[in-house]
Amino acid sequence: MLDFIIKRLIQVVVVVLLALTVVFFLIRLSGDPTALFLPPDASREQIEDYREMLGFDRPIYIQYGEFMVNAVQGDFGQSLRSKEDALPLVLSRLPATFQLAISALILSLLIAIPLGVLSAYKRNSVFDRISVALTVLGQAVPSFWLGLILIYFFAAQLNILPSGGAGSIVHLILPMITLAAYSVARFTRFTRSTMLDVLRKDYIRTAKASGVPTIRLVGRYALKNSLIPIITLVALDLGTLLGGAVITEVVFAWPGVGRLLMQSLMNRDFPIVLAGVFIVALIYAVINFIADILYAYVNPQIRVK
């Protein structure tokens, strides 16, 4: 088990470093941002002095080496626009992103698990067909389009919910629904598939033939044995929600890491982008690491892979 944990820890480090490396070179390909932070009438000498101060005049491999040395020490530099330290600024937006992602995850589970269980138990019924159709639709609808439709009906037409921002639980409703829509569809299909496999087992048939009540049969025997793969998917999906909240945060002006990253990309604020990528990649890798450890603890065969 210790060897398995060490291997997974090494993978976490490699994933984070690779993510930083790829993003570092990609944003450098977008061009020199120096001119964006100087007055339009800045002279050539002023531009060159500013580039030298920021270190953009040096070869790209030297910039990369200095960046990685500082990054492993938690120093991502200062925002080119606000002059604030990049990492603390990103961390200050993290609670809002966690609030949105965890709320969406809880909503997804509250809807998807009962829906998936009922769909599996009533396989090939009208309810099952409608449920499957809705899950396909939920996975096909783009989140930005769904967010705009919700804003149009509930904010613009009915005027019962705010169209964006944060501050109260009411502001959370529309972005939470938008972010949860895809996960609801995904969890429902996965729960249905897992439950169908369990319901075909011999011990379920035996329990049913013995007269075990339906609620007890489904809830205690079938669902309980379906939870391990569902828990694994939940752990992985939390990382996906945290990393995929960018569009939802932009649509609803939610003050999270995703919106900050999008604004920084548009402004070519490289330190903020790299600090944000580091945090998102680290969280995603750590969540996957914890899921792997828990799964290996439950199923020892995983450790030898």
Backbone phi, psi, residue 78, to 5°: -110, 150
DSSP at 302: G
- Which residues 6+ apart lie within 8 Å of 256 measured at CB? 93, 94, 96, 97, 100, 245, 249
Alpha helices in the chain, H assignment, sequence order: 2-29, 44-54, 60-71, 86-121, 126-140, 143-150, 169-199, 202-209, 214-216, 223-243, 246-251, 257-267, 270-298
At residue 186, the pLDDT reads 87
At residue 290, the pLDDT reads 80
List, in sequence order, every residue forming a beta bridge with 85; answer none if it has no partner: 78
Contact between 81 and 154 (Cβ < 8 Å): no
- pLDDT 10s digits, 118-157: 888 888 888 888 888 888 888 888 888 999 999 999 999 8
Contact between 249 and 100 (Cβ < 8 Å): yes
At residue 299, the pLDDT reads 57
Contact between 24 and 274 (Cβ < 8 Å): yes
Helices 86-121 & 257-267 angle (0-180, nearest 10): 130
Reduced 3-state DSSP string for 61-103: HHHHHHHHHHHCCCCCCECCCCCCEHHHHHHHHHHHHHHHHHH
Contact between 150 and 134 (Cβ < 8 Å): no
Residues of the chain with pLDDT under 50: none
- pLDDT 10s digits, 248-294: 888 898 988 888 988 888 888 888 989 988 988 888 888 878 877 77
pTM: 0.80
